[in-house]
Structure 1
Amino acid sequence: MKVALLSRWHVHADDYAREVQENNQLSVGLVWDEDTERGKEWANELDVPFEKDLVTVLANPEIEAVIVSTPTNMHKEIILAAASHKKHIFTEKVLAFTVDDCKEIFAAVEKHGVELMVSLPRLTEKEFLYAEKALDAGWVGPLTMIRCRMAHNGAVVPNGKTEGWLPARFFDKQQAGGGALIDLGAHPIYLTNRLAGKAKAVYARLEKGVESDVDESAAVLVDYESSALGIVETSFLSHGSPFQLELYGTEGTLLCKDGSIQLKSIHHGDGNWVDITDELPMVPKPMKQWVAKIQDSIEPSITKKDVIDLTRINDAAALSHLEGRRIVL
């Protein structure tokens, strides 16, 4: 299946190109980019043609699918156009800025009979899989609190430099729609949503840097209908911050930290802390799930609900910060 790479704007664009090259069911057919020079450079690196006209890309009968790594504010327009040309679509999170826009996109892909996958990779990794098992097996009992933190130092400016390693375009509010929360915070949001269930209210604080138009650190409290409380943390200003996923219940605690999984439960290990090392069935990465759905009609584990609920929490968090109040969903 020949794929067109649409934009190198997002820092994960190179990762997706590499995944295509490593997948024997996919190949890169050509490159398009809203920044012509950047697109030409990328196409040269990949040794494929560059096409400056998006309509020509989408009308090309040899192109069966597209990977969208454009600025987030271009997602809706480009994905709707791709769907209307019956191209399958893989895209970076978040899908769109509003729930209504997400629903419009899903309606379009369903109408045109194409498959859409949004990259939510942490739903395929072992921290989430063990957390899901801990809940399903009753190891922690009823969930009372869940905390997830994902942060890095992309906005920290080293001595002698004018910017951090995260590209300046990630701080363009118009293009990105926000800062740390909408980008990096997406991972803790969709994880807590999946594990805790339906959210009913959100309270958030998004902190900007002195010279930044977007948040560089954020914390969100989510009330879930299950009575669990979710705590989401993210930052572009944290050196050495590990990925953390913590589940607290009436009968146990599960702590996940950078690949290490520990459990203390009345049902497991005589109530002492134990390291969990059992092998779990592997869940394919988002791109492989996308291909399996297209080629073999295998339903992905990443769902439409995951995608829409991610935008729902992001949207509510931004409003909560703006108005300084708890937002009931």
Structure 2
Amino acid sequence: MKRKALRRFTGITINFFQEETIMNIAVLGAWHVHTMEYSTALQKNPDSTLCCLWDSDPERGAQMAEKLGVPFQPDLDAVLSDPSIEGVSVTTATSEHPQVLMAAAKAGKHIFTEKVLAFTNEEAEEIAKTVKESGIIFTISYPHKTRPTLKAAKEILESGKLGQVTYARVRNVHNGSTAGWLPPHFYNAAETGGGAMMDLGAHPMYTLHWLMGEPKSVVSMFTTVTGKPVEDNAVSVLEFENGALGVSETGFVSTGLPYVLELSGTKGSLMVHNDLLEYSSEETEGKLVKLETLPEPDPMPIDAWIAALGGKGTAPNGIDEAVALTRLMVGAYESYRTGAKNVF
């Protein structure tokens, strides 16, 4: 959608109009806890407008639409056939992703989606095929990759200062189960595909893949502390080709110190915690020192996606990265179910 905008500058008004591209975006799904966050981001972004919201549960959808101040559209086909709608933000239950994502792609709608992509590798590959054939711009939400500390950690790793990296650990937790603030449907495996690892554990999983590359196998141990029908405490250990190990730790039952990243190598190590990065290497004479200057954060994935729709930059976290996360999750859960190492 294009609109004419009067440009004003400090102290003067320029008497001409400049054409701007404003993306008309619909929200598909009010199921996810991040629906409000992503939707308000679209409303605040000067390059997008939020036009309507659809949900498979009319009551839930109408309530969320009212909170956002947009119309509720009960007919998904009506949303996807509307030529004025250029993109969709998908925050449905994960179980609805294959149907909704493929329908949106076939309708030519650009897609921003919450993770994870799908429950199975077969579903993920089918979605990917449809997305690639459609030519639409696709982004999955991997927000941790925008963080200054994680960007700096990747730069240090790639600089060779740590030598050959032999161990990586990412811990990402909160107290959603013990404190009781996660919605009940987050424990419904039919909708979520799993518990803490599938949800919060996605962040350590895609971070390990981003930093370490493709793993060769995975072993998992999941438990329940609060008696929920899905795991609320979980660890998966990834094995990489060079002998390195990557540990993905997550849970809904921990309070305080919600995030830790460690990288250890043959020449040095680093740790990220409390928005700080400390590292040791040959240049620090083996002493642990704080990295004083961090890079600027990248735009959040939903904002970068909107920018890409307007021809400004490249959309992050594309469909191949989305498929890769599903592959890791399938392996992690298969290992837990069988009690054995799962080889990718």
Q: Would you call these one fold, judging by a TM-score over 0.5? A: yes
Pairing of 1:176-191 with structure 2 (within 5 A): 176-191=192-207
* Contact residue 196 and residue 226 of structure 1 kept, 8 A: no
* Contact residue 127 and residue 245 of structure 1 kept, 8 A: no
Residue equivalent to 1:5: 27
Render the CA deviation track for 1:124-171: whole Å, top value 9, x for unaligned: 1123211111111122111000000000100015xxxxxx10000000
AA in 2 matched with 1:151? V
Residue equivalent to 2:271: 255
Render the CA deviation track for 1:282-311: whole Å, top value 9, x for unaligned: 422211221233221633342433222211
Render the CA deviation track for 1:180-204: whole Å, top value 9, x for unaligned: 0000000000101111111000000
Separation in 2 of the partners of 1:55 and 1:304? 23
> Which of the numbers 103, 107, 110 marks the counterpart of 2:125?
103
* Contact residue 54 and residue 72 of structure 2 kept, 8 A: yes
Q: What is the Cα-based RMSD across aligned positions, in Å?
A: 1.4
Identity fraction in percent: 37
AA in 1 matched with 2:293? D
1:149 aligns with 2:171: yes
Separation in 2 of the partners of 1:210 and 1:11? 20
Residue equivalent to 1:291: 306
* Contact residue 179 and residue 216 of structure 1 kept, 8 A: yes
Pairing of 1:123-202 with structure 2 (within 5 A): 123-157=145-179, 164-202=180-218
Residue equivalent to 1:305: 320
Query: Structure 1 residues 93, 137: closer, same or farther in 2, change over 3 A?
Result: same
Shift of residue 281 of structure 1?
4.6
1:24 aligns with 2:46: yes
User: Structure 1 unaligned runs (5+)?
Assistant: 158-163
Indicate the SS of the match to 2:238: strand
Shift of residue 86 of structure 1?
0.8
Normalised by the length of structure 2, the TM-score is 0.90
* Contact residue 123 and residue 302 of structure 1 kept, 8 A: no
* Contact residue 152 and residue 294 of structure 2 kept, 8 A: no
**How many pairs align?**
322
Residue equivalent to 1:212: 228
Pairing of 1:115-126 with structure 2 (within 5 A): 115-126=137-148
User: Structure 2 unaligned runs (5+)?
Assistant: 1-22
* Contact residue 208 and residue 215 of structure 1 kept, 8 A: yes
Separation in 1 of the partners of 2:25 and 2:315? 20
Pairing of 1:263-274 with structure 2 (within 5 A): 263-267=279-283, 269-274=284-289
Shift of residue 76 of structure 1?
0.8
